[in-house]
Amino acid sequence: MNFDYDLLVIGAGPGGIAAAERAANYGAKVAIAEQDRVGGTCVVHGCIPEKLMTYAASFSEVFRNADEYGWGQVKEDFNWHQFMKARNNDIDHLVEVHTNHLREAGVELIHGRAKFWDANTVFVEGKHYTARKILIAVGGKSVKPEIPGIESAISSKELLTLERQPKHLAIVGSNHIAVKLAGIINGLISKVTLIVPEADILPDVDEEIRTTIREQMKQLGVRFYRNSKVEKIKKQSDHLSLKLSQIRQLESVETIVFITERVANLDGLDLDRANVETDNGAIVTDEYARTSQEHIFAIGDCTPKPHWTPVAIAAGRAFADTEFGNKTRAVDYNNIPYVISSQPEAATVGLNQSLAEEKYDNVRCYSKKFQPLYNLMAESKQKTLLKLVVEGESERVVGAHMVGDYAAEIIQIIALAIRSGVTKRDFDRTIGIHPSIGEEFFAIS
């Protein structure tokens, strides 16, 4: 059978783009279908706009400390409209850059919503396209609970496109996205209430880390309701009234956003027409991203694999190498570092203390909390926390965690060391750069 393409990718997010460009570089004839803008959730609705907002929010902390450093009092006057205009221009630029990269690689861009017609055919905007191999990279989407008044709530995607800055924002959720956005909006001088359905924020993160994040966010002004669920939302004339569990009432909320659940974005794909197997709402794949159909593959947030942009990119490139580059390889999903872009910033890699204690008979933890040099003069008194989790017999470091400035930059380098089998003795023997925050990992006890 003659096919229109060697590869058709559904979804032009980071993973789909990475796979399409690499496959095209191997000489494959490639097309990519996207119903939204090139770049996917990360570039358009997630990581990039969130990070730009994090930068904007960080100025409030700088301004707060400017007087102690001789700059005098700086007026805190954030202009939401001005920032959003500049941010949107940058996102437009990134979309254009990714689109041009696809074109330069020879990838054909098909605009529209794609769905399966059969196992080798995809239907987009009234046209059929056939392909020898098909890669599904459609990402995930937010889901809101079915409660009275839920039509008055928004998702994180909508929060990032609000035309007006909310005076009082309520965020429902405990995951890293909820915590991150709570810190961001609070840093932009809005009142923020974080409603946590569980006992604490970040339930999968090391306890010492999440406790430190929560306490420091409270110091910065974020209000927490833990073990609380929103049971009802009532729209008043100029605000929302929230009925919380445990007989609590939260008044004068301008905007409420639910960041409690994300699911694979599979609606309308008609996977049954291609006999692609799913489990618990996600596409089942093997270690090489292959689905139940030998020529159909899936990567990223529509699978049960870790939902991080670099993971999707790595999976996309590994798929292209294996299927078109004669370089069979699978992604190693162990020891993937990730950042919690909260205020304060946190990052982690490897096992937290409780998971390490489940896996090993002998675990030692080394932690250090200190005030960084910057804060000695500054008004801010927030502290940095460093923690190493060590397998006691071999002294091999199996986890590293940090709360404080530059956490992401420091932890991702430590991730390389952990993958290489670094030991606590190696840390003790290393001389760091002074004065810096990272050097404290070499003096932790």
Positions marked catalytic? 434
Asked if residues 78 and 164 have their Cβ atoms less than 8 Å apart, the reply is: no
- Pick from 257, 234, 87, 240: nearest CA to 171: 257
List CB contacts of 410: < 8 A, sequence separation 6 or more. Answer: 347, 402, 437, 438, 441
CA dihedral 128, 134, 135, 139 (to 10 degrees): 30
What whole-number distance in Å separates Cα of residue 81 and Cα of residue 79?
Answer: 6
Residue ranges in 126-206 assigned as alpha helix (H)? 156-159, 176-187
Amino acid at 44: V
Residue showing tokens 């073990």: 227
Residue ranges in 135-206 assigned as alpha helix (H)? 156-159, 176-187
Q: Phi, psi (5° rounding) for residue 280?
A: 55, 35
Per-residue tokens: 152: 């008055």
Asked if residues 324 and 23 have their Cβ atoms less than 8 Å apart, the reply is: yes
Residue showing tokens 């080798």: 120
